[in-house]
A and B are shown apart, each in its own frame.
Chain A
Amino acid sequence: MRIQLIGTIALVRKETGRVLRIWVQTLIPPGITMSLYFIIFGTLIGKRIGEMEGFPYMEYIAPGLVMMSVITNSYGNVVGSFFNAKIQGHIEELLVSPLSEVSIVIGYLAGGIIRGLAVATVVTFIALFFTQINIKHPLMTLFVIIMTAGVFSLAGLINAIFAKKFDDIAVIPSFVLAPLTYLGGVFYTVSLLPEFWQTLSRFNPILYMINSMRYSVIGISDVSIQNALMMIVVFFILLFSSAVILLKKGIGIRQ
């Protein structure tokens, strides 16, 4: 047990240290991207849109933009870190050690969550230049950010476990994550959509995460907040278990 604890801390330290060591790659790009979103969608186009659900457009989209960067970055952090370890071969440092699969998953998960939290802080700070943010439920905000970062860190880990070439880690972010995020209600309320598209949107898990975040910050949501939070927790548990099972079976990492 002591070995697992010390080993997990060592891996957590290594993975979080990586995020901070290469901060120019991990923290600056989302800051620049989100600044552009705030300028274009918030300041320029947002003025013409006016209010959304009773809030200035900039204030309405800010929580979604924070969540969008959390999703992209937590996923990218773990998929990149684990796949690089596989390609360079130093994943073997972990595999030959007595560290359990649960500890390995926790280590990579921590790296993704720290990246998600750090990026959320950066983007929130940038948002303050464009709009005011009065967080209604701060603890829930923290919970939603951590859990969503966790869900996408685990998804990134599973992607990296299966990936055999660099294309394999680019496909999911480009063809699955990006469309689901943009269609997950970052820039609009789903009530604006025709009924068919509203129904379809409810099958998009990212809709629930973005709305959880929006609820925790400005107090409104397109979906039931209880269902949304439960969905995040269920996803987290399912993906965590799947990652542990895949590592135990040695899929993608053992011959």
Chain B
Amino acid sequence: MHALSIKDLSKKYKSGVEALKSVSFDVQEGDFFALLGPNGAGKTTAIGIITSLVNKSSGSIEVFGHDLDKELAKAKSCIGVVPQEVNLNLFDYNFNILVNQAGFYGIPRSEGKKRAEQYLKQMQLWQKRKTNARSLSGGMKRRLMVARALVNRPKLLLLDEPTAGVDIETRRMMWDFLRDLNANGTTIILTTHYLEEAEQLCNKVAIIDEGKIIENDSMHNVLKKLKTEVFILNTEKPLDKAPEIDGYTTALKSPQEIEITVSQEQGVNDAFSTLQTSGVKVLSMRNKNSRLEELFLDLTKGQPGEGE
């Protein structure tokens, strides 16, 4: 079953900006779906329309079979959303924020309290239940927004850059949590500028650019389209110039760093053999960018930004 089905969705703002141009894509139930794109590509507009915070210009959306134009309340009951910007009531107690949100979804207060406790504990915020959101750090606010999005136990969770600006520890904790959530049946749609995050978490990916979907496939298939990868090799001794290796493009990034471009069918064995013959000892190797990032840059011909 489709968790989300979008057909010919368009949005033209009053300013004349066409944020979405006849966008269509489906998300299957159980998917962990990455919606990627550069700044202003239309990701947040798409999330806004799905959650009815933005009015569409044309097109149709179904959430678990409920048409947003005909069964809006039923569709909304299936959705939880973590927005890009902090939108918490900064003066209310964190516990109350969750209990109230549960109430708005028709969950009785006694049950809402239980769920608030469960998700505050899971997000490691239970100690902060009696403080207000204003006193939380940036990472804690993000976790609180995740907890709030879960109180109605949504079948479809929309995350608009949920880990923007959070520390590495929190990000890893969120990744583990989201993986578990997805494994337990929640369909998740994620927008992020951390392409490593999408590569690590998601099984499906759509790339949107200038309001149009330019790629939509499984993560595995999308990554297969990557023609070349760039690796950084750290050498034991400093070099004067980049070693020449037949069939590979090399460059010296620093005296002890060689950048080497490898096409998909080439592999790296030949390069290492040549380096060994030349007496260059390689201590370590890493991808210059994540594979998805390479593909993203190739497809969008630009740079991934810091926010939309």
Interface residues of A (CB under 8 A from B): 2-7, 9-11, 13-14, 85, 88-90, 92-100, 250, 254-255
Contact = CB atoms under 8 A, between A and B. Distances in A.
B109 interface: yes
Interface string B46-72: 001001111100000000000000001
A3 B107 CA distance: 7
Contacts of B73: 3, 98, 100
Contact of B86 (A10, A13, A89, A99): A89
Contact of B100 (A4, A14, A250, A254): A14
Q: Which 8 A-B residue pairings sit nearest by Cβ, starting from the closest?
A: A10-B103, A3-B106, A89-B87, A97-B104, A98-B73, A90-B89, A98-B76, A6-B106
Interface stretch (B77-85, B191-199, B243-251, B271-279): B77-85
Contact of A97 (B90, B96, B105): B105
A255 B17 CA distance: 12
A76 to B, nearest CB: 17
B79 to A, nearest CB: 7
Nearest to A1: B106
Given A93-B148, A96-B51, A254-B53, A7 B105 contact: yes
Given A10-B104, A97-B104, A88 B88 contact: yes
Interface of B: 13, 48, 51-55, 72-74, 76-77, 79, 81, 83, 85-90, 96-97, 99-109, 112, 148, 152
Contact of B85 (A4, A89, A97, A98): A89
Given A97-B101, A97-B104, A255-B48, A92 B109 contact: no
19 contacts: A7-B103, A10-B99, A13-B100, A14-B96, A88-B88, A89-B88, A90-B89, A92-B53, A93-B97, A93-B101, A94-B104, A95-B52, A96-B79, A97-B152, A98-B73, A98-B76, A98-B77, A254-B52, A254-B53
Contacts of A3: 73, 77, 105-106
Residues of A contacting B: mostly:
helix
Contacts of A93: 87, 89, 97, 100-101, 104, 148
Contacts, number: 89
Nearest to B86: A89
Given A88-B87, A98-B77, A255-B55, 19 more contacts: A3-B73, A3-B105, A4-B106, A6-B103, A10-B100, A10-B102, A11-B100, A13-B103, A88-B89, A88-B90, A92-B53, A92-B83, A92-B87, A96-B51, A96-B52, A96-B79, A97-B104, A99-B104, A100-B73
B88 A90 contact: yes
B6 to A, nearest CB: 17
Contacts of A10: 99-100, 102-104, 109, 112
Given A2-B106, A96-B76, A255 B54 contact: yes
Contacts of A96: 51-53, 76, 79, 81
A98 B74 contact: yes
A78 to B, nearest CB: 16
